Amino acid sequence: MADTVAFRLLVDDDVDAAAGLAVDEALMAGCARDADPPRPTLRLYTYRSHSALVGRYQSLAGELDLDRCRETGTGVGRRPTGGGAIVMGRDQLGVALIVPAPPRPPRQLLRELSAGVLAGLAGLGVPAEFGGKNDLLVNGRKIAGLGMYTDGSGAVLFHASVLADLDIDFMLQVLNIPAAKLARHGASAVAQRVTTVTRETGQRHSGAGIRSAIADGFTETLGVRLERGELTSAETAEAERLIHTRYADPEWLYPKAAAPDGTGTARFRSPDGPVRVFVAAQGSLIKSVLFTGDFTAPPDALTRLESTLRWQRLDPAAVERAVRESTGGTGTDGWHSPAEVVTAVLTAGARALEHATAHPHRATGSCYFPDTPSRDAE
Amino acid sequence: MTSENTLHNDELLVAGFPVRSDRYYDRDNHVWLLPMPDGRVRIGLDALNVETTGTLAGLGFLPVGSVLRRGGTYGSLEAAKYVGPLLTPISGIFAAGNEAVLAEPGLVTADPYGAGWLAELEPTDFDAELPLLLHTEAELRSWFSATVTDYRSRGLIAE
């Protein structure tokens, strides 16, 4: 045991959006190439209820209902990591793992570093797996979002947000997810695609309440021992600096949008009745897709297709390929005409691009839910 | 959408990937550099880098005028929830980011050697640093095919 590598464990709760993110980045200096010795750190923390955080290249105005955030005292922030908008608070555990970057491609590394979260969830009796677009899923439902950031210094910051519990109605208030707000069964559509430790175990859990299990998961998968520690004075000073120069800086929070976002929708027929597809696009890239209809649970093929279409280009070949892969050519999951689905997705996408030009700031996707109509909402 | 990546005179096909022999390559980061007639250098990602990065969700650049050292960061890109640095293969002053790829990151994937270029620098130590990059056809073939073989053996790219 004496030979086991020690990682510092930091624990804090009720942090503000800017401070929470600034501390994570400040910890990276301890794992830069010139850090001697390196100081790998696992930080397991909760945000103040509530904080809404968008991904690195998302638009705050597009993803968040900023008026509602103000009314509800919800803090806002932009993560250094990629991915979609999330709501964090006492019911979600923030995971930040900072280590010297191993010489591996990012996609492989993200998967490796998520193993600690999976092991932690398993310890709670929740059998999650890596899947979708780099998410952690339980029976196809998302239970944790992942993200990663490297800055060229030699350190890597791995992020996970683990849903101990989730107030879906509140999330729908502060995130711009018009599809869910406007579709007839919006909240249940979210509930069909997301799950929580509370829901999976039948016992109420909070973010802080699952902390020790997640810590154990990292101890097991990293083969290290965790030693409770504190920030150094240099890290505290760097975090303060980053709050002012970055995470609370309007230029970081509200940069000029690069590619315009837009959303559009179209319908197609299925044996289970009419299905509506919502597509959110940025430039010609599909940011997210949502299928809604009068089903108690979305057909598996459509759920797979939502995931497969994310981050694909909006062109017929890519959409046809995704539809083919997701249906497996069987046509048994609720609809029988792939061509009609392809046409509907492309039509919704074309409307999204049209809309992008007219309204440059539209929602592009929550981490826990795809998006977003702008017209023809049910 | 342009497609300069077809039928280009200087194009080699190495292990199934196009490599342009008219430019210089950073061995470690799979970044190309092309000297421009006005003395600037243009930089971008090579085809293998694009393949392993995946679909780009967004990217951003440092302000024009930023002073960069070889291996330093001139911006960042996001793909599959990962945000990583864009690293320069040469020291210089950041002169321009490609506005077209900011508006349409998919250009980088569609045409990495052409319309999907990323940035231009005014090099500050060109003569000393250029020899550190790979350029001859033999060097490019050997380096690129070895990397592709390694990536395939590790399952990082498809067979």
Q: Does A269 fall in a domain? A: yes
Q: Does A102 fall in a domain? A: yes
**Residue-number span of the structural domain to which A311 is assigned:** 261-358
A226 backbone dihedrals φ, ψ, rounded to 5°: -100, 130
DSSP A67-122: HHHHHTT-EEEE-SS-S-BEEESTTEEEEEEEEEPPSS-HHHHHHHHTHHHHHHHH
Residue-wise pLDDT tens digits, B114-157: 999 999 999 999 999 999 999 999 999 999 999 999 988 887 78
Q: Does A378 fall in a domain? A: no
Kindly tell me if the per-residue pLDDT of A13 is higher than 70. yes
Contact (CB<8Å) A107/B87 = no
Residue-wise pLDDT tens digits, A306-350: 888 887 888 888 899 888 888 765 544 555 578 888 999 999 888
For domain B11-147, give the fold.
Answer: OB fold (Dihydrolipoamide Acetyltransferase, E2P) (2.40.50)
Summary count for chain B: helices (H), strands (E): 5, 11
Q: In the predicted model, what is the mean pLDDT of residues A105-129?
A: 95
Q: Does A14 fall in a domain? A: yes
Query: In this complex, is the C-beta atom of A106 within 8 Å of any C-beta atom belonging to chain B?
Result: yes
Which pair of structure tokens corresponds to residue A329?
A: 């050519």
Q: Does A363 fall in a domain? A: no
Query: In this complex, is the C-beta atom of B73 within 8 Å of any C-beta atom belonging to chain A?
Result: yes
Q: Where are the beta strands (DSSP E) in B62-159?
A: 67-68, 73-79, 82-87, 92-97, 119-123
For the domain that residue A42 is a member of, what is the CATH number? 3.30.930.10
Contact (CB<8Å) B84/A81 = no
Question: Are A121 and A270 part of one and the same domain?
Answer: no
Q: What part of A 3-62 touches B (C-beta under 8 Å)?
A: 55-57
Q: Which of A234, A253, A272 is the last residue of a domain?
A: A253
Question: Are A71 and A149 part of one and the same domain?
Answer: yes
Kindly tell me if the per-residue pLDDT of A374 is higher than 50. no
Question: Are A167 and A279 part of one and the same domain?
Answer: no
Asked whether A39 and A66 are in contact (CB, 8 A), the reply is no
Dihedral of CA B15/B18/B23/B28: which sign?
Answer: negative
For the domain that residue A353 is a member of, what is the CATH number? 3.30.390.50
Kindly tell me if the per-residue pLDDT of A368 is higher than 80. no
Residue-wise pLDDT tens digits, B68-93: 999 999 999 998 889 999 999 999 99
Q: In the predicted model, what is the mean pLDDT of residues A1-17?
A: 89
ipTM surpasses 0.85: no
Chain B partners within 8 Å of A309 (Cβ): none
More confident residue, A372 or B99: B99
Query: In this complex, is the C-beta atom of B16 within 8 Å of any C-beta atom belonging to chain A?
Result: no
Query: In this complex, is the C-beta atom of A349 within 8 Å of any C-beta atom belonging to chain B?
Result: no
Chain A partners within 8 Å of B56 (Cβ): 285
Q: Does A373 fall in a domain? A: no
Residue-wise pLDDT tens digits, B26-67: 999 999 999 999 999 999 999 999 998 888 888 999 988 889
Q: In the predicted model, what is the mean pLDDT of residues A181-204?
A: 84
In terms of C-beta density within 10 A (0-12 exposed, 13-18 middle, 19 or more buried), how is residue A23 classed? buried
Give the per-residue pLDDT at A367: 55
In terms of C-beta density within 10 A (0-12 exposed, 13-18 middle, 19 or more buried), how is residue A18 classed? buried
Distance from CA of A145 to the nearest CA of B (A): 9
Of A105, A152, A285, Cβ closest to residue B156? A105
Contact (CB<8Å) A284/B104 = yes
Question: Are A31 and A146 part of one and the same domain?
Answer: yes
* Angle formed by the axes of helices A338-358 and A316-327, nearest 10°: 140
Kindly tell me if the per-residue pLDDT of A185 is higher than 80. no
Question: Are A78 and A198 part of one and the same domain?
Answer: yes
How do A141-150 and A41-47 pair as beta strands?
Answer: unpaired
Residues with Cβ < 8 Å from B113, sequence gap 6 or more? B4, B5, B8, B18, B20, B23, B32, B44, B46, B47
Other Cβ atoms within 10 Å of B1 Cβ, number: 11
Give the per-residue pLDDT at A311: 77
Q: Which of A221, A237, A253 is the last residue of a domain?
A: A253
Three-state DSSP class for A185?
Answer: coil
Cis link prior to A244 (omega < 30° from 0)?
A: no
Q: DSSP state, B134?
A: B
Asked whether A28 and A157 are in contact (CB, 8 A), the reply is yes
Contact (CB<8Å) B80/A110 = yes
Query: In this complex, is the C-beta atom of A148 within 8 Å of any C-beta atom belonging to chain B?
Result: yes
Question: Are A217 and A347 part of one and the same domain?
Answer: no
Distance from CA of A171 to the nearest CA of B (A): 21
Query: In this complex, is the C-beta atom of B102 within 8 Å of any C-beta atom belonging to chain A?
Result: yes
Chain B partners within 8 Å of A311 (Cβ): 54-55, 57, 79-80
Which of these ranges, A10-19, A145-154, A169-178, has the smallest mean pLDDT?
A169-178
Q: Would you give the distance in Å from CA A273 to the centre of its chain?
A: 31
Cis link prior to A271 (omega < 30° from 0)?
A: no
Domain count, chain A: 2
